[in-house]
Amino acid sequence: MLRALLLYLSQAQWARNMVTGWRVAWRVASRFVAGETLEEAVALVKELNRRGFYVTLDHLGEYTSNEAEAVRSTDEAIEIIEAIENEDLQSGLSIKLSQIGMAIDEALCENNLHRILMAAQKYGIFVRIDMEDSTYVDRTLDLYQKMRQSFGIDTIGLVLQSYLYRSLKDAEQVTQDGTRIRLVKGAYKEPGEVAFPEKADVDAEFDRITEVLIKAALKTGCVEAGPKLPPLIAIASHDDLRVRYAKAAAEKAGLTRRTVEFQMLNGIRRDLQDSLLAEGYPVRIYVPWGSEWYPYMVRRLAERPANLWFFISNLLRR
C-alpha cells in the first residue's frame, strides 16, 4: 500500500513541484545522488574507482515531453561519454529511452540513441538501456535488437525485471547471442496482469532468471568483467539472499568470479558492496546525478520504509 502510494507520487507532477522546493528533500536525495553537476559525478566516480569499484553513470531524467529536451539529453549523454574517455574513468553509461524521446516519437528516440552509440563505440564505452515501466518493454527490446545489429553486444546491453511475468522468456530469447543483461527486481508500479504482486514470487523469479543467465554465459563463452565492459551476467540487487543464490549457482556451474558482476545503487548496502569486492567479484556502482532527482529519490523511498522515516524525521527537524 505504502509502496504503491510512493510509486504513484514518484510520477505525480504536483508532488514533484512541491517536494523539490524543500531543502530537506535534497538532503535525503543526496544519500543516493552524486550531485547536480557532471563535475560532482566525475569526482565520485574517481573516488569509487580508486576503491576498486566500476561505475555506470546515469544523468537523471525521464519521460521527456518535447523534442528539444530529448535532443538536449542526447547531447548531454554524449558529453558524459566524452568525460568518461577524457578523465579515464572506469565507467559505462546508463540511459532511459523515455529521456531521449521514446515518450514522444520512436523515430526521434532511435535517431538519438544512434548518436549516443556512435560516440560510445568510438571510445569503447558500454551503454546500458535501463528498463522503465512495462509499457516500454516491447519498444525497448525492439530498439535494442535494431541497435545491436549495427553496434554489437559490446556497445549496448539491456535490463530485465524479475517482477514481470514475461522476463524469464525474454531472458531466454535475448541472451542467445550473448547479450549483456542487468537483472533487477523492478522499480515501477505495475498491475497484477503483468507483474507478480507478491515479493516472494519476484524473488523466486529473480533466481530462476539468474540460472538462465548462467546457462547463457556458459553457452556463449564466459566473458570476464572489465572496467568499461560488464560480463553477460550482472546481478543488480541489494538482497543478501539473491546475491548468495547467484554466487552459489555460478560457482556450481564452474564460472569464475570475474564473470559474474554485482551491481548496486550508490549509497545503498555499502557493507555488501565492500564484501563482494573483497571476495574478488567485480562490483559496479550505479551513480546517478543531475537536477531531475525527484522520481529517483521517491522510488528509493518506496523500496525501503526506513528511508521514509529518515525523510520524515528530517522534515520535522526543519
**Number of residues in contact with ligand FDA, rule: CB under 6 A?**
24
Identified binder of ligand FDA from the candidate list 55, 70, 187, 298, rule CB under 6 A: 187
Closer by beta carbon to ligand FDA, 197 or else 254: 197
Region of 74-82, 140-148, 252-260, 265-273 interacting with ligand FDA (CB under 6 A): 265-273
Catalytic choice (58, 130, 170, 203)? 130
Helix axes 199-220, 240-252, angle to 10 degrees: 30
- Examine residue 91 and tell whether it contacts ligand FDA (CB under 6 A): no
Site string for ligand FDA, 238-257 (x = CB under 6 A): xx------------------
- Examine residue 259 and tell whether it contacts ligand FDA (CB under 6 A): no
- Examine residue 270 and tell whether it contacts ligand FDA (CB under 6 A): no
- Examine residue 264 and tell whether it contacts ligand FDA (CB under 6 A): yes
Closer by beta carbon to ligand FDA, 119 or else 202: 202
- Examine residue 189 and tell whether it contacts ligand FDA (CB under 6 A): no
Region of 119-127, 179-187, 217-225, 273-281 interacting with ligand FDA (CB under 6 A): 179-187
Cβ of residue 254: shortest distance to ligand FDA, in angstroms? Answer: 25
* 154 catalytic residue (yes or no): no
In the region spanning residues 106 to 135, those forming contacts with ligand FDA, defined by CB under 6 A, are 130-131
Cβ of residue 94: shortest distance to ligand FDA, in angstroms? Answer: 7
* 177 catalytic residue (yes or no): no
- Examine residue 283 and tell whether it contacts ligand FDA (CB under 6 A): no
Question: DSSP string spanning the chain?
Answer: -HHHHHHHHHT-HHHHHHHTT-HHHHHHHTTT---SSHHHHHHHHHHHHHTT-EEEEEE------SHHHHHHHHHHHHHHHHHHHHTT-SEEEEE-GGGGTTTT-HHHHHHHHHHHHHHHHHHT--EEE---SGGGHHHHHHHHHHHHHHH-TTTEEEEEETTBTTHHHHHHHHGGGT--EEEE---S---TTTB-SSHHHHHHHHHHHHHHHHHHHHHH--PPP-SS---SEEEE---HHHHHHHHHHHHHTT--GGGEEEEEETTS-HHHHHHHHHTT--EEEEEEESS--HHHHHHHHHH-HHHHHHHHHHHHT-
- Examine residue 268 and tell whether it contacts ligand FDA (CB under 6 A): yes
CA distance 191 to 99: 23
Residues at the interface with ligand FDA (CB under 6 A): 130-131, 159, 161, 182, 184-188, 236-239, 263-265, 268-269, 286, 300, 303-304, 307
